[in-house]
Chains A and B, each alone.
Chain A
Amino acid sequence: MNKIGEHIRQRAAELLESREIDAFIGFRQGSLPMTTQHYVARSAAEAQNLVWNSFCVLNPTNILPSLLKSFEPPRRPGDPLPDDLPKVGIAVTGCWSRNLAIQFQENQASRKRVIAIGLPCTGMSDRRQILAQTGEMVTEVSETAEDLYFTGGTVASLKRTEILRPNCASCVHPQPVARIMTEVIEGDCINNDAAGRFAEVEEIEAKDSDGRWDWFSSEFSACIRCYSCRNACPLCYCPTCFVDDAKPQWVGKGLNSSDTSIFHILRAYHCAGRCTDCGSCEAACPMGLRLRLLTKKLDKDVVDMFDSEAGVEPFKPLPLSTYSQADPQPFIVQPSHSKGEDS
């Protein structure tokens, strides 16, 4: 971890020093133990603030499009962009690199303007899960490749494998997508068994329909509708989200369960075939909702139906924004139930 951090600081400083890039997106230490902050370094000196540890949980590609845009000159609609716009550097792990691939495909970021440094990833840890075991009084945390050590907590150390975030524990693409990386830092990656990757989803799928409904109603009942899941997600970039529309108002603003459900169902569906299971939504949720279970279910469906995983093949069109005759289409070819009437 320390070696990777050192490498990021050094490369970011070099790139900034040589003016190859104007800004570098990474993380810096937060104000509390086990927290980090998104950080944009704009000089070689600022690059020394970059850190890399087990608590870099918010997806950094989320701030890439707006940062790129901030370097663009004001212009009229339809006017072309100048060719020599400043570039931005970013350090990405497997899931984040797949988000980058999607941003390139969906024209949220220009590949020409991004210098991507691929990182090996051994998985991130869940601060809240740790605090539940150590108590709130932890004042300092240090880490090795295998363990985390705490000062001030009721527990002195924990194995990293025990407190991995569930998305990291089921991740099968820890390696950055090589084809869109400018350079890659070599190192050990987490090595999960692909067979159990959808176990969390299968557990819910196994319930009957009443059981699934009960699970859904209870899982999302604590939602306070702050939308931090949406705001922490690099896939959500609509200028006006459907829940913020006032004319017409699609969704009620109170905590009525039907309104909350609609938000969560639609948010998840908008991520179908695009979600990389980076866990940013869960890391951001103040109520600790397991939002990933919905998006993971859609990941599974897209794998089953379209044999496709978001961003893994960076130049292949996303399954839900293209059409192929091989797409599953039982809703079209299934014979009508009321035979004869429709013909």
Chain B
Amino acid sequence: MKTLKLSNDELQGWLASWQQKHAIYAPQLGTDASKPQFHDWALLDGDEMPQLPTGVVKNSIKRFYLPQPQTMGTFSIDKRQADAFIIKETLPDSAKKQILLGARPCDARAILLKNQILASDPYFQAAREKNIVVGVTCSDQAPTCFCHKTGASPLAFIGMDIALSQTDEGWLAEIITPRGEELAGNGAEASEAKIAELKEKRDAIKQCSPAHGFKEQPMQEMYDAPLWQGLSDRCISCGTCTFLCPTCTCFDIQDETSGNTGRRIRIWDSCMTALFTAHTSGHNPRGTKLSRVRQRFMHKLKYYPDDYGPLYCVGCGRCVRDCPTNIDIREVIEDLQS
């Protein structure tokens, strides 16, 4: 791995050259002042490094990997056509790369965790081909951030192609993958001292064990824990937590038609809604709000760790920040541990 030292101007030079070849998406503040203001992902117009807020922006980079909606294929509903009702698959054009600039370590890691589940999903894999992650590590954490409590670190670079870390004089750019290598422009190698300094900061962060001991906890005990009742009393089943969550992956498939053509789309679904598990017969195996609230936490804290190791939560804190009824996964983790 190569570490380069960049001034602000040099980084801007990189951006300008990337702009020539690729679409760059970055967190930006909404431009319509009449609307509530928050940072969210948008196509970068200029070649200036965008101002990133402390912590995470409204949406994660999930939307670039699981677009909302994803067109899986198109078909004709004109019965006179020979190919009527035959679906023609459409995969994202992975040759045309795009850059996700300013992704945080939690978001980048989430894509790797999702990959465990979606390893053989052609749409997700094509999106991984297409998206190049130029991440920015976090020098500060927001009050809702807790990545260090999910076995990760605010200064981590896993899942990124290039990791940028802000320093007093500018930036340190760690070139992590061959794709990052190809993308990186010119720059002076960072001094040994600078690299050591970054490593020291990284080592100073106290990471906890990735699965929090939930792997060892008996499943039935967690399933029957008394806390689910109190949480479901308060939950309004909106699914905001699952929509904003960078790891939540579940989807629904729908056919939409317009005129003589149709498309099969894949859209985000949420285990917080009753419809998620409703059967055609009318039976619903997860018919109560309690069972749905429990499902989300059990999947993140127990089922996924049992199957793959780490928690299925990267500690970005989006669900904590935007839950209308203030259901806080950090409190759930603490409650389950005690």
Contacts and interface: CB of A to CB of B under 8 A. Distances in A.
Contact of A62 (B143, B236, B273): B236
A32 B256 contact: no
Given A31-B320, A255-B68, A255-B69, 20 more contacts: A32-B143, A58-B324, A58-B325, A62-B236, A128-B36, A132-B36, A132-B38, A136-B53, A136-B144, A219-B35, A226-B239, A228-B240, A244-B274, A252-B254, A253-B254, A254-B68, A256-B256, A285-B324, A286-B240, A288-B38
Contacts of B324: 58, 228, 232, 283-286
A38 interface: yes
A287 to B, nearest CB: 8
Interface residues of A, number: 45
B237 interface: yes
A246 interface: yes
Interface stretch (B147-155, B213-221, B326-334): B326-334
B275 A37 contact: no
Interface string B272-285: 01110010000000
A128 B270 CA distance: 25
A283 B322 CA distance: 10
A284 B32 contact: no
Interface string B30-59: 001001111000000000000001110010
A246 B326 contact: no
Nearest to B55: A136
Nearest to A128: B36
Contacts of A287: 36, 58
Given A132-B36, A244-B275, A253-B252, A31 B69 contact: no
A254 B233 contact: no
A244 B243 CA distance: 17
A252 B326 contact: no
A114 B138 CA distance: 50
A231 B234 contact: no
Contacts of A137: 54, 140, 142-143
Contacts of B143: 32-33, 136-139, 152
Contact of B234 (A38, A128, A290): A38
Interface of B: 32, 35-38, 53-55, 58, 68-69, 140, 142-144, 233-234, 236-240, 243-244, 252, 254, 256, 265, 267, 270, 273-275, 278, 320-322, 324-326, 328, 330-331
Given A246-B275, A255-B69, A40 B240 contact: no
A210 to B, nearest CB: 17
Interface string A25-38: 00000111101111
Contact of B267 (A129, A232, A253): A253
Contacts, number: 112
Q: Is the interface of A mostly helix, strand, loop or mixed?
A: loop
Nearest to A36: B326
A228 B236 contact: yes
Nearest to A139: B143
Interface in A279-329: 283-288, 290
A288 B326 contact: no
A31 B328 contact: yes
Top 5 nearest A-B pairs (CB, nearest first) are: A288-B36, A228-B238, A284-B324, A30-B326, A231-B236
Contact of A254 (B69, B142, B243, B321): B69
A269 to B, nearest CB: 21
Contacts of A32: 143-144, 320-321, 326, 328
Contacts of B331: 31
27 contacts: A31-B330, A32-B144, A63-B233, A136-B53, A136-B142, A137-B54, A139-B143, A224-B240, A226-B270, A227-B239, A228-B238, A232-B236, A244-B275, A253-B252, A253-B267, A254-B68, A254-B69, A254-B256, A283-B324, A284-B238, A284-B324, A284-B325, A286-B240, A286-B243, A286-B324, A290-B35, A290-B36
A113 to B, nearest CB: 18
A232 B325 CA distance: 9
A343 interface: no
Contacts of B53: 136
Contacts of B330: 31
A129 B37 CA distance: 8
A207 B181 CA distance: 53
A135 B234 contact: no
A218 interface: yes
B254 A135 contact: no
A30 B53 CA distance: 23
A58 B238 CA distance: 14
A113 B194 CA distance: 69
B120 to A, nearest CB: 25
A236 to B, nearest CB: 10
B320 A286 contact: no
A43 to B, nearest CB: 14
